[in-house]
Structure 1
Amino acid sequence: MTTTERKRSRFRFWGRWLGMGLAAPFFVAALWGLAGLAGALIPAPVAVQTGEATVEIGLIATPIHYDLLLPLTPDLRARFGFAAQAGVAVDSPEAGWLLVGWGAREFYTAGGGYGDLPLRAVAKGIAGDASVLRLEAWGRFALRDAPEVTRLRLTPTGYAALLARISAELGAPELVKAPGLTQADAFFAGRSGFSALRTCNVWMGEALRAAGVPLGRWTPTPQALRLSLWVWG
């Protein structure tokens, strides 16, 4: 083998390894997404909640996760009254719904478009980060008039279990950032951790199962959660 051929052979060798290295993150991400779809199809234990399903809540999707929409009843306004001091208009007569979201602290609070997120925030979310809850008051409207909202009906005991889970996640409310993504929301510290294995969609699945909504065992992506709702709901 000539010197030129040896150089070409080494170039091809390292080129293959470089190509494999560049492709590896996409391969892992694809496997993670497929595993999430499989997890959505595996039935999980669901809290049994008795009574008639009379409480309507909403799920609203973003490109990467779901948020809850909860009816701003007098009881809910009182429960989340602490958020008013951070600029969340829970006590406004114009408000009809409270948006509740959960996610990785550094990633979720970064703001801006997804393309503007610092790599450190993305890496920390994958490896493990603290969590935050996002609260925002929305106006009055009927969920049936909002086609982008998935409507769920819970029993009163199931709804109480959902609120208890949110309150447990908040603990003694600790403000992290206000305003947050808009001029009318705020982030509060969560009590549990975020990672690639326990994403915002996994947390949402846990909260909904506690409320009596049948779902799959692991729903790390919005697609997995959507599939799980369709299959088991």
Structure 2
Amino acid sequence: MAARPLRRWLTRAALAIVALPVLFAGTAWIGSSIPRNADWEEPARGVTILLAHNGVHTEIVMPVLAEGHDWRAHFSPADLAEPRRAYTHVAVSWGERDFFLETPTWAEMELGNALGALFGGEALLHVAWYVRPAPSGNFRELRVTPAQYRALAEAIAADLEPDPQVFEGYEDHDVFYSARGAYHLGKTCNQWTSDRLAGAGIATGWWTPLAGGVMKWVPRAAAR
């Protein structure tokens, strides 16, 4: 008789393990479909930025110099392994420190790091430098007004800690900096991206823990 309650418990546990990711994905889809700044329209003229993703993680790609904002004043190219290229754009994203530093590729992801990121940790800014990034399915252009760009740039710069600690990047054109805030399930890397866009008055979703929830607000057709 004792075997039957055990089997029922194991069955329920297995169903819960399957149901939780499905529930999370469903709520993420719903949350990312609720608009912020729903009346926003892309201006005919302004500053062109890009939103980029690798299927899991998003970043905001901006001109090195635009509207009087020079990213070299915040992120020195001298911090890069290859500082001499004629970089035109800087891409910024935010994430959990240990996961960022210990997972250079998805093949090196460990369960402990992934779970640790979900339950919280210190934050880093990941800064990658590009030379004329071309629009594509993974790099989608978005035009914003000068005022929106300045608000976006100022908010991102404010996430950098004063006198930040610098960490080596994955390649010769990227680097990490200690950042303000703490990473947790309610504030993921992708939520940071949409929060920064929303704070500048740009249309995006309300809750965007997944990359797709951010990118669906910038459809492929927007690439020019």
TM range (shorter): 0.7 to 0.9
Identity %: 23
**Residue number in structure 2 paired with 1:216:** 205
**Residue number in structure 2 paired with 1:130:** 122
CA, structure 1 residues 219+61, in 2 after alignment: closer, same or farther (shift >3 Å)? same
CA distance in 2, matches of 1:83, 1:161: 21
> One-letter code of the match for 2:182?
G
Paired residue total:
218
Which has more strand, going by share of residues?
2
How far 1:131 moved relative to its partner?
1.1
CA, structure 1 residues 224+148, in 2 after alignment: closer, same or farther (shift >3 Å)? closer
**Residue number in structure 1 paired with 2:192:** 203
> One-letter code of the match for 1:171?
E
> One-letter code of the match for 1:87?
L
**Residue number in structure 2 paired with 1:57:** 49
**Residue number in structure 1 paired with 2:58:** 66
How far 1:151 moved relative to its partner?
0.6
**Residue number in structure 2 paired with 1:139:** 131
1:137-176 Cα deviation digits (max 9, x unpaired): 11234x34x4431111011111111111111100314124
CA distance in 2, matches of 1:213, 1:219: 14
More off after superposition, 106-115 vs 159-168: 106-115
CA, structure 1 residues 47+135, in 2 after alignment: closer, same or farther (shift >3 Å)? farther
CA distance in 1, matches of 2:13, 2:170: 35
CA distance in 1, matches of 2:198, 2:189: 14
CA contact (8 A) 2:40 2:203 kept: no
CA distance in 2, matches of 1:23, 1:53: 52
Larger Rg: 1 or 2? 1
1:15-51 Cα deviation digits (max 9, x unpaired): 33224324423322221111111112223357989x8
CA contact (8 A) 1:175 1:186 kept: no
How far 1:12 moved relative to its partner?
4.0
How far 1:11 moved relative to its partner?
3.1
Matches within 5 A, 1:44-193: 44-45=36-37, 53-73=45-65, 75-80=69-74, 82-87=75-80, 92=84, 94-141=86-133, 143-144=134-135, 146-178=136-168, 180-193=169-182
User: What TM-score, normalized to structure 1?
Assistant: 0.81
CA, structure 1 residues 47+170, in 2 after alignment: closer, same or farther (shift >3 Å)? farther
CA contact (8 A) 1:130 1:193 kept: yes
CA distance in 1, matches of 2:112, 2:175: 22
More off after superposition, 100-109 vs 68-77: 68-77
CA, structure 1 residues 86+160, in 2 after alignment: closer, same or farther (shift >3 Å)? same
Query: Which blocks of at least 5 consecutive residues in structure 2 are unaligned?
Result: none
CA contact (8 A) 1:134 1:187 kept: yes
> One-letter code of the match for 1:83?
S
> One-letter code of the match for 1:149?
F
How far 1:105 moved relative to its partner?
1.1
> One-letter code of the match for 1:208?
L
1:170-199 Cα deviation digits (max 9, x unpaired): 031412421x22233111111011111111
User: What TM-score, normalized to structure 2?
Assistant: 0.84
CA contact (8 A) 1:69 1:97 kept: yes
